[in-house]
Structure 1
């Protein structure tokens, strides 16, 4: 073997030594190579002398290094064995843990599966219960529906019964109302007479007009319209102006009433039942036909008025008052057969205040009233009376007030221009 071959083997030895550190097979290979190297050394020692010694030393060094590497390798192998044992133990422990986890997982899975089975069974049972309850509710609803139908039929039958009873009651009420209406009326033909005063008895028909309360604005319209109506209906039968209690009032309104009475084709009979004073007394006295109860009172006095302003204005008002007095009182004096002055004098002779009052049975001799009647029959009341129609003067009677002194009074409307009140008012009850 030449030197190059020796170097080659040395390099190969070094490589194999390094490889021996990696595994046992490499070490065995290095041992074989070492033996070969020794053989080579023996051969080369003979040929090369000192060079061989040097190489021998290197070989020895390599052997020592190889031994060292072997020992290190053995140590590493021991460590690897220990690590292997440790890893095996850890692997066994991990495997055991995995087995435990797997067993626990299987147990949990079985438990969950069992719980799911139980839940499914419970759900099925609940579903069955719900379906059964639904069926029960459906049955109950059907029963309730049938009951409702039955109740509806009962209600309809009851409603029909109630409607029948209502119709029956309505019929009874209608019959009762008709009977009441029939009973509230006289239901006999009205008997009219051209001569209503016979043997001291006066018969009043439904052709009558009521005069109660003061004569104020509107009273003339109320009376005149009715006089015209009765004339338009029949011009032969008498019209009755019935005075219950009237203190008098507006001269203008009273004169209109007198004109309507005078111009009426049908005769107008004035009937005094209680009290006729002032303008009402003038209407009674100047009527073509007048009647009164013997206890009725008729009162005449001068025209009553008021005045304010300066002297000229008051003189003008006095002139108007005198004019009215002449127009309404002169006819009274003429009927009595005396003058107006004599009438006024007699007023004060019979009363210090000039309020000449006479009962009707005494008033006859003064021509204040034509006839005294003891019996007045009112055939006009053929229906139950009501208060829907009232004389405007009656509203004054209803407006009662009390002053600061405790005296009762009623407010009269202010007379219109050139009008005065001819009103008996000794107690100052009527004020304006």
Structure 2
């Protein structure tokens, strides 16, 4: 702004000087013109004084020329001064412009520096804020992490406590299970005796096969396989064929069982507990040795069957029955010391249908059973029997269950199941609640 004002002043000064010079030149020209007019007037008024006036005019012109030259020189000098001043002023203006440019550049640089510093400061402040926030977040995270660690430690401690309790409970449960397992077992091995009858007590090992229900297809396989298995394990100790309740059945299956018993390297002894009829009675009688409770029942009778067809076919079927009688009833007669015909006659003497019924304490006299026993100690039960293990089963059926009903008068009663042959009910029933 200062350089601009100075340049304006210089311009006004030069302009004024030029105007003054023009005014001076115009005044000199006017003076010469007036002098010429004055001389002309004098020549007109004084014709004879022409020369004198010419000389005066020449002097005056010369004077004027000198003054004009002087003025011109003065003008040139002043003009030179003005030019020098203008150049000086121009240089000063240039210098001022350069300086102004420098100042402007410096100002701009300063401004840029200040802007940059402000930006840097703002960025630093931002970084400081971010660092502070980061530190705050780090602190909060550290606090949260520490809190989480404390919670994790507390949770882990609680978990360890629960795990410890769980292990204690598991140990107690395992100990209890072991104790129950120990309590549910006899913890004594089965007793193996070559002579199982000791002081009237029959001692049975786990080398036993159970024959219950009817003897039909598949029964022989089940019995024979077990006899073979026990023979493969040991041939010294006896195998026990236990009969709880068997009505007999297929003679083909029965003869296979007898063959396996007679050909067994280890002795096979029959133990009769309740009932053996027909083929089961034959197996009991023809065993190498048989034992029975005194109240067990045995029934012998002829082999029987059904046939159809013409007379020839009927006679052929009768021959088959006779052949089977010779194969399974004849050995029974031989053991009793009589003929087959005598045995059949005896059957009908004791029963009109030919079913010879005897309790074991009487059957022993007829050699149907060898030994009477009052006690059986079964050492094969080394584990506690489960519920339902001893349910009485016949023909692979389930144990009979009864349900309460009401008669037409509204009285409650229970229908008793059908009895097996040679069985009777013996129960106190004054209110007729149990009905047959």
TM-score range, shorter chain: 0.5 to 0.7
SS at match of 2:241: strand
Q: TM-score, normalised by structure 1?
A: 0.56
Q: Which residue of 1 aligns with 2:250?
A: 250
Is 1:357 the counterpart of 2:364? The answer is: no
Q: Which residue of 1 aligns with 2:341?
A: 341
Q: In structure 2, how many angstroms separate the alpha carbons of the residues matched to 1:391 and 1:314?
A: 42
Q: In structure 2, how many angstroms separate the alpha carbons of the residues matched to 1:314 and 1:142?
A: 106
Q: Which residue of 2 aligns with 1:159?
A: 159
Distance change >3 Å, CA 426–CA 239, structure 1 → 2? closer
SS at match of 2:242: strand
Q: Which residue of 2 aligns with 1:188?
A: 188
Alpha-carbon shift at residue 250 of structure 1 (Å): 1.7
Aligned ranges 1:256-335 → 2 under 5 Å: 256-335=256-335
Alpha-carbon shift at residue 394 of structure 1 (Å): 4.3
Aligned ranges 1:378-389 → 2 under 5 Å: 378-386=378-386
Q: TM-score, normalised by structure 2?
A: 0.55
Q: Which runs of no fewer than 5 residues in structure 2 stay unpaired?
A: 1-138, 403-414, 424-436
Distance change >3 Å, CA 303–CA 389, structure 1 → 2? farther
Alpha-carbon shift at residue 235 of structure 1 (Å): 1.1
Distance change >3 Å, CA 174–CA 400, structure 1 → 2? closer
Q: Deviations over 1:196-238 (max 9, x none)?
A: 1133222112212222222222222222122112212111111
Q: Which runs of no fewer than 5 residues in structure 1 stay unpaired?
A: 1-138, 411-423, 428-432
User: Which structure has more RCO (C-alpha within 8 Å, separation ≥ 6)?
Assistant: 1
Is 1:210 the counterpart of 2:199? The answer is: no
The answer on whether the counterparts of 2:391 and 2:399 sit within 8 Å (CA) in structure 1 is: no
Q: Which residue of 1 aligns with 2:5?
A: none
Q: Which shows bigger deviation, 325-334 or 189-198?
A: 189-198
Q: Which shows bigger deviation, 303-312 or 280-289?
A: 303-312
Aligned length: 276
Q: Which residue of 2 aligns with 1:171?
A: 171
Q: Deviations over 1:241-286 (max 9, x none)?
A: 1111111122111111111110111111111111111111000000
SS at match of 2:380: coil
Distance change >3 Å, CA 180–CA 401, structure 1 → 2? closer
Distance change >3 Å, CA 239–CA 159, structure 1 → 2? same
Q: Which shows bigger deviation, 363-372 or 163-172?
A: 163-172
SS at match of 2:249: strand
Q: In structure 1, how many angstroms separate the alpha carbons of the residues matched to 2:325 and 2:309?
A: 21
Distance change >3 Å, CA 164–CA 383, structure 1 → 2? same
Q: In structure 1, how many angstroms separate the alpha carbons of the residues matched to 2:207 and 2:225?
A: 12
SS at match of 1:398: coil
Alpha-carbon shift at residue 142 of structure 1 (Å): 10
SS at match of 1:397: coil
Alpha-carbon shift at residue 292 of structure 1 (Å): 0.7
Q: In structure 1, how many angstroms separate the alpha carbons of the residues matched to 2:318 and 2:387?
A: 40
